[in-house]
RNA sequence: GGACGUUUAGCUCAGCUGGUAGAGCAUUCGCUUGACGUGCGAAGGGUUCACAGGUUCGAGUCCUGUAACGUCCACCA
């Protein structure tokens, strides 16, 4: 297919059409193919509630680059897409929508609520997927999955039952984090600490024997209703003889003991801690050690419960105010001290979490963490950048049991059934209705599982596990996981231990971490700041390729990047540059039937560009294999713009305009070969424009995305041609610079070239003539020219006879300056060569390099000197 | 309290296993050079890469320490 190529690249006219052609071609679909090696990436499933944001844009772009690269290399490359049901986030959205209608989920009940949730999922769940397509993501959509679909649900239940049977899942009363807004427990990982202003209320607790008071301080006075002890440090002199005495808990008028525990720090605050086992994780531990009763004074909504006596029914905050007042009235409040302290908040809604005792389901982590630590230690899983492993280890080494039950409806329901008659508990793969023991009806646990429980299984649940599918056998373990460092605990760590436990293998061999996309000022993009940039608007305006290029260029693994108008504009300009190079080539191809092969024999400049291209092929491939995507794309950019366009196209014009059909054909073939190959190198980064261009040039095959990745070919390497062209280019630059300096940039002048290598320059005469704006060119080993501008390059002396423009004095000064600089460089070279330590210890190739440099310099110095003599 | 990251041209950032610094943007000058002004050519700009030591023949690149900024973890009631 051919299209008229517009003067500027218009991605809007290209992208959707190309994407559709890829889908229609079935190129995204990866098959189980024993003749190929598999390469697999599973997508970090975006939330169905989500809208595409810049974080996704970067994440998906990196994955698509890797997948497209491997696919072209001949792997059976599977990029498995899907979405996450995101229990808390989704449920919150639906509850919110219902609130606007004036109904609550309790009113309509579980079933009706879930119906709404699924309807919502059907309506909005596809939105993010459509947005991913806009980026050009080459996901295998035929294999799209959802964390709550049948297969994933089956996997979740299988894992739950297995872990339960192994004793790695248990139900128990522990301190958990309760979010009063989301009305569910959340895991430790889901608590974010925020520094907030608060108060230290200093309170007196009287001794029961009337022998005075003990002073303590608390930030949460309302919890005192659940105090069951007061603790001091065992070594604290002040209380040595008091430990063991009873205290009267104010307001409650109950006796509680004064105990000694190492947990208390003598130097902090008053050195006295009230112990509330039901509402503080540390106190809970203390309580266990001292066998203290646990009194929960709050309900799940964050209101004081019946244990709170007269405060029952108040919210925690109301109770706090009242309690402070009451203490004050009784003269037990000593003072109030303002402090800044860290408060745990819910990562979803930001509400201050309430630590409280609750009966929940937990995963016992220690046995799972050990193999997970080893997998990274031994290198079975590699983190890029490597430093991420420290974060991982520190978390895994200090891991606590994982609270997995949520008081939500949208999610995987816990497969546990209770018999209210005989009190038995059953955990089962199959739904149960009657008690296998006593035949009475069973009641299923109302809770659902933490969303991350299902995403932890994603690398294998999506491939069909627990069934033994062909896909699972072929594509698992997956290869690369691409994700942001912000979900290393939530997701990466949990996939690792889940996979090791269930599959007895790692889920992936490499984790490629990227950073955050920040705004132009370096701030995190956020809704509240309103500084978010919508990738879809960027795509609309600049094209997906420009967006993709922007998020990978100048970026290194694990580091954040800033997104700015300047950057996206620069990317757009690059796309336009490529576009016009293609336009030029196509224009010159009209009426020619040429293939995609190189000509049989190559001229010097063709040898040079092909050799340079060939090197780029090798380097870009290596960079991609090492996940150095930013470096890889930078190399393609530099080659395409600075080498191919700025030099080779200009050079090729000469032969194409000369009228010699054979010569022109050679140039055209070379242009096509190098440019098409470069389009392939660029394709993973900028898939749309490269496809559009590749199709418009002579090519073999249906699509660039299933064409073969260019291979480095040692036969194309030509150091001699590169050296020769390097000299020619240096001469051209030097002439241009001199003319620019003299304000006659395009003046056509004669050019005399005195050199020891005349062949090179004679061969390149036409090039020199055109690019240096020369009239006629003469090449010899030496010239005697009066009143000429002289230029000395490493390889030649160049004369521009512009007597009328030459200022002898100025020429002399310039040459002196050049001589000076050459001599200074020479001095450092000589210093090295005379340094015995250097000569002895430096490797031979470095010494050779310095020597060669020295020879060049001395030749240059000699030439400059003779010019100075000639002038003087 | 602990760990980690960053600190390189005016701005945003590259710089792999150590061999005397690069890009994009911005700036200045000059170009209707028949692919592209979203362009072309040329130029200036780092007191040598936050600072102080050290290792080395040689350090932006390795080690130690300091400072500023940032991130994560822990959390003292």
CA A776 / C1′ B9 distance in Å: 40
- Taking the C-alpha atoms of residue A707 and residue A701, their distance in angstroms, rounded to an integer, is 7
Strand B contacted by A586 CB (< 7 A) = no
Q: What is the DSSP string of A30-89?
A: PP--TTS-EEEEE--PPBTT----HHHHHHHHHHHHHHHHHHHHT-EEEEE-EEB--HHH
Q: Measured in angstroms, what separates residue A234's CA from nucleotide B51's C1'?
A: 46
pLDDT confidence tier of residue A830, bands split at 50, 70 and 90: confident
What integer pLDDT is reported at residue A825 of this predicted model?
84
> Whose CA is nearest the C1' atom of nucleotide B58?
A838
Q: Kindly tell me the sign of the dihedral angle through the C-alpha atoms of A776, A780, A783, A788.
A: positive
Query: b/e string for A664-677 if b means 16 or more Cβ within 10 A?
Result: bebbbbbbbbbbbb
pLDDT tens per residue across span A197-212: 889 999 999 999 998 9
Q: Is the CB of A846 under 7 A from strand B?
A: yes
Residue-level pLDDT at A595: 78
ipTM for this prediction: 0.94
Q: How confident is the model at residue A528 (pLDDT cuts 50, 70, 90)?
A: confident
Q: Summarize the confidence of residues A480-507 as an average pLDDT.
A: 95
User: Per-residue pLDDT for A421 more than 80?
Assistant: yes
Which residue is it, tokens 């000469």? Answer: A654
**Tokens encoding A112:** 């009706």
- The answer to whether strand B lies under 7 Å from the CB of residue A622 is no
Query: Residue A4: its pLDDT value, please?
Result: 56
Which of A182, A180, A177 has its CA nearest to residue A402? A177
pLDDT in tens, A662-679: 889 999 999 999 999 999
Q: Is the CB of A733 under 7 A from strand B?
A: yes
Please tell me the predicted confidence (pLDDT) of residue A300: 78
Is residue A569's pLDDT more than 60? yes
Residues 6+ apart with CB under 8 A from A342: A193, A194, A195, A196
Q: How many other C-beta atoms lie within 10 A of the C-beta of residue A163?
A: 21
Mean of all residue pLDDT scores within chain A = 92
Closest alpha carbon to C1' of B14, residue: A554
Q: Which residues in range 628-647 of chain A are in contact with strand B, contact meaning CB within 7 A of any of its atoms? A: 628, 630-631, 634, 638, 641-642, 645-646
Which ranges constitute the DSSP H helices of A359-476?
Answer: 366-377, 388-397, 451-455, 458-461, 470-475
Split at pLDDT 50, 70, 90, the class of A432 is very high
Looking at the C1' of nucleotide B56, which residue has the nearest alpha carbon? A841
What does A358-382 look like in DSSP terms, one character per residue? EEEEEE--HHHHHHHHHHHHTTSSE
Q: Spell out the residues 6+ positions from residue A64 whose beta carbon is closer than 8 angstroms to its own.
A: A79, A135, A136, A137, A138, A548, A684, A687
A556 touches strand B (CB under 7 A): yes
Q: Assess whether A740 (CB) lies less than 7 A from strand B.
A: yes
Closest CA to A729 of A694, A760, A701, A707: A760
Cα–Cα distance between A277 and A261 in angstroms, integer? 14
Tens-digit pLDDT profile for residues A211-265: 899 999 999 999 999 999 999 999 898 998 999 999 999 999 999 999 999 899 8
How many angstroms separate the CA atoms of A524 and A510, rounded?
27
CB A224 within 8 A of CB A250: yes
Residue A745 CA, nucleotide B36 C1', distance (Å) = 21
Query: Hey, what long-range contacts does A422-426 have (CB within 8 A, 24 or more apart)?
Result: A425/A171
Position A1 pLDDT exceeds 60? no
Predicted pLDDT at A433: 94
Residue nearest to nucleotide B57 (CA to C1'): A838
Smallest CA-to-CA distance from A575 within A6, A2, A3, A11 is with A11
Q: What does the alpha-carbon distance between residue A123 and residue A115 come to, in Å, rounded to a whole number?
A: 12
Distance A829 CA to B57 C1' (A): 13
From the C1' of B13, which residue's alpha carbon is nearest?
Answer: A554
What average pLDDT does range A685-690 have in this prediction? 96
pLDDT, residue A5, reads: 64
Q: Residue A412: is it exposed, middle or buried by C-beta count within 10 angstroms (0-12/13-18/19+)?
A: buried
**How far is it, in rounded angstroms, from Cα A352 to Cα A177?**
10
CB A517 within 8 A of CB A55: yes
How distant is C1' of B9 from CA of A29, in Å? 47
**CA angle (A551, A553, A557) in 5-degree steps:** 80
Task: Supply φ then ψ for residue A817, to 5 degrees.
Answer: -65, -45
Residue A2 has what pLDDT?
43
Reported confidence tier of residue A3, pLDDT bands at 50, 70, 90: very low
End-to-end Cα separation, chain A, in angstroms: 66
| Chain B nucleotides near the protein (CB, 7 A) | 2-6, 12-15, 19-20, 23-25, 29-31, 33, 35-43, 56-58, 72-77
Give the CA A626 to C1' B17 distance in Å: 13
Subset of residues 786-845 in chain A with CB less than 7 angstroms from any atom in strand B: 825, 828-829, 835, 837-838, 841-843
In degrees, rounded to 5, the angle at the alpha carbon of residue A139 between the alpha carbons of residues A137 and A142 is 140
Q: Tell me how far apart the alpha carbons of residues A278 and A174 are, in angstroms, rounded to a whole number.
A: 9
- How high is the pLDDT of residue A440? 93
Q: How confident is the model at residue A834 (pLDDT cuts 50, 70, 90)?
A: confident
For residue A375, CA distances in Å to A42, A389, A455 come to: 19, 11, 20
Q: In 3D, which of A494, A472, A467 has the Cα closest to residue A481?
A: A494
Q: What is the per-residue pLDDT for A841?
A: 87
Q: Give the distance, in angstroms, between the CA of residue A434 and the centroid of all CA atoms in the same chain.
A: 49
Nearest nucleic acid nucleotide to A850, CA to C1' distance? B19
Q: How far apart are alpha carbons A2 and A20 in whole angstroms?
A: 17
Rounded CA–C1' distance between A628 and B27, in angstroms? 32
Q: Residues near A424 by Cβ (< 8 Å), separated by ≥ 6?
A: A418, A435, A437, A438
Mean pLDDT within A607-636: 93
Residues 47-66 of A with CB under 7 A from strand B: none
Pairing of strands A169-179, A145-146: unpaired
**pLDDT > 70: what percent of chain A?**
99
| A853 CB neighbours strand B below 7 A | no
Could you give the CA distance from residue A147 to residue A412 in angstroms, rounded to a whole number?
9
Reported residue count of chain A is 872
Find the mean pLDDT for residues A676-685: 96
The residue whose two tokens read 């001589």 is A819
Alpha carbon of A69 to those of A380, A622, A707, A714: distances in Å?
23, 12, 10, 21
- Distance between CA A786 and CA A617 in Å, rounded? 48
What are phi and psi for residue A354, nearest 5 degrees? -110, 115
Q: Which of residues 132-191 of A touch strand B (CB under 7 A)?
A: 188-189
């Amino acid at each position: 297919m051919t299209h008229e190529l517009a003067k500027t690249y218009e991605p809007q006219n290209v992208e959707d059409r190309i994407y559709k052609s890829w889908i229609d071609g079935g190129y995204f679909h990866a098959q189980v193919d024993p003749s190929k090696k598999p390469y697999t990436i599973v997508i970090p499933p975006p939330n169905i509630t989500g809208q595409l944001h810049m974080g996704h844009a970067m994440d998906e772009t990196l994955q698509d680059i890797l997948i497209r690269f491997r696919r072209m290399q001949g792997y059976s490359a599977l990029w498995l897409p899907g979405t996450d049901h995101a229990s808390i986030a989704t449920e919150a959205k639906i509850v919110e929508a219902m609130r606007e209608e004036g109904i609550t989920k309790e009113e309509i009940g579980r079933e009706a609520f879930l119906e709404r949730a699924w309807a919502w999922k059907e309506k909005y769940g596809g939105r993010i997927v459509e947005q991913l397509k806009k980026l050009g993501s080459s996901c295998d959509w035929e294999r799209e999955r959802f964390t709550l679909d049948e297969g994933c649900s089956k996997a979740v239940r299988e894992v739950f039952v297995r872990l339960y049977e192994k004793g790695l899942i248990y139900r128990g009363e522990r301190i958990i984090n309760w979010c009063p807004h989301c009305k569910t427990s959340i895991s430790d990982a889901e608590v974010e600490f925020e520094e907030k202003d608060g108060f230290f209320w200093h309170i007196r607790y009287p001794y029961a024997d009337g022998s005075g008071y003990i002073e303590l301080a608390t930030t949460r006075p309302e919890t005192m209703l659940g105090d069951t002890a007061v603790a001091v440090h065992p070594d604290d002199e002040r209380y040595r003889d008091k430990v063991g005495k009873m205290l009267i808990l104010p307001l409650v008028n109950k006796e509680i003991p004064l105990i000694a525990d190492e947990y208390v720090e003598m130097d902090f605050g008053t050195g006295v801690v009230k112990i509330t086992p039901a509402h503080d994780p540390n106190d809970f531990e203390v309580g266990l050690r001292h066998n203290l009763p646990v009194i929960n004074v709050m309900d799940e909504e964050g209101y004081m419960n019946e244990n709170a006596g007269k405060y029952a029914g108040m919210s925690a905050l109301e109770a706090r105010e009242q309690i402070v007042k009451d203490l004050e009235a009784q003269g037990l409040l000593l003072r109030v001290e303002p402090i800044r302290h860290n408060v745990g908040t819910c990562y979803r809604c930001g509400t201050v979490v309430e630590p409280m005792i609750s009966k929940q389901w937990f995963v016992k982590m220690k046995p799972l963490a050990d193999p997970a630590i080893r997998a990274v230690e031994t290198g079975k899983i590699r983190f890029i950048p490597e430093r991420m492993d420290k974060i991982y280890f520190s978390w895994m080494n200090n891991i606590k049991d994982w609270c997995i039950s949520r008081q939500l409806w949208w999610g995987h329901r816990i497969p546990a059934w209770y018999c209210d008659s005989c009190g038995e508990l059953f955990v089962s793969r199959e739904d149960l209705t009657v008690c296998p023991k006593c035949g009475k009806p069973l009641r299923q646990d109302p809770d659902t599982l933490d969303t991350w429980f299902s995403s932890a299984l994603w690398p294998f649940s999506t491939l069909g596990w627990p069934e033994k599918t062909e896909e699972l056998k072929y594509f698992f373990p997956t290869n690369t996981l691409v994700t942001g460092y912000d979900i290393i605990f939530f997701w990466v760590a949990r996939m690792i231990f889940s996979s090791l436990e269930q599959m007895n293998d790692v889920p992936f061999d490499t984790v490629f971490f990227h950073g955050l996309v920040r705004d132009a000022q370096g701030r995190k993009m956020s809704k509240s700041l309103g500084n978010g940039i919508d990738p879809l608007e960027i795509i609309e305006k600049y094209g997906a390729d420009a967006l993709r290029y922007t998020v990978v260029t100048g970026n290194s693994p694990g580091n954040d990047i800033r997104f700015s108008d300047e950057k996206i504009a620069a990317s757009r300009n690059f796309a336009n540059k490529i576009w016009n190079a293609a336009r030029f080539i196509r224009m010159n191809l009209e009426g020619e039937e040429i293939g995609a092969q190189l000509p049989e024999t190559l001229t010097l400049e063709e040898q040079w560009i092909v050799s340079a291209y060939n090197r780029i092929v090798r380097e870009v491939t290596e960079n991609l294999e090492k996940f150095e995507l930013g470096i890889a794309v930078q190399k393609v950019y530099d080659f395409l713009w600075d080498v191919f366009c700025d030099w080779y196209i200009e050079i090729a014009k000469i032969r194409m305009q000369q009228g010699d059909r054979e010569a022109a054909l050679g140039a055209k073939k070379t242009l096509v070969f190098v440019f098409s190959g470069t389009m392939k190198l660029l394709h993973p980064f900028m898939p749309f424009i490269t496809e559009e261009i590749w199709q418009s040039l002579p090519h073999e095959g249906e699509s660039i995305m299933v064409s073969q990745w260019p291979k480095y070919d040692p036969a194309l390497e030509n150091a001699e041609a590169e050296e020769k062209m390097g000299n020619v280019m240096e001469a051209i630059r030097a002439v241009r610079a001199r003319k620019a300096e003299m304000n006659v940039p395009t003046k056509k002048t004669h050019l005399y070239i005195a050199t020891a290598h005349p062949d090179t320059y004679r061969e390149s005469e036409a090039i020199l003539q055109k690019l240096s704006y020369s009239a006629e060119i003469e090449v010899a080993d030496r010239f005697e020219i009066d009143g000429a501008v002289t230029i000395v390059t490493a390889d030649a002396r160049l004369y521009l006879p512009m007597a009328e423009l030459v200022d002898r004095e100025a020429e002399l000064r310039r040459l002196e300056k050049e001589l000076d600089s050459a001599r200074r460089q020479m001095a450092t070279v000589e210093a090295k060569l005379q340094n015995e330590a250097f000569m002895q210890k430096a490797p031979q190739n470095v010494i050779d390099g310095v020597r060669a440099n020295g020879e060049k310099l001395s030749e240059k110095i000699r030439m400059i000197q003779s010019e100075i003599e000639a002038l003087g």
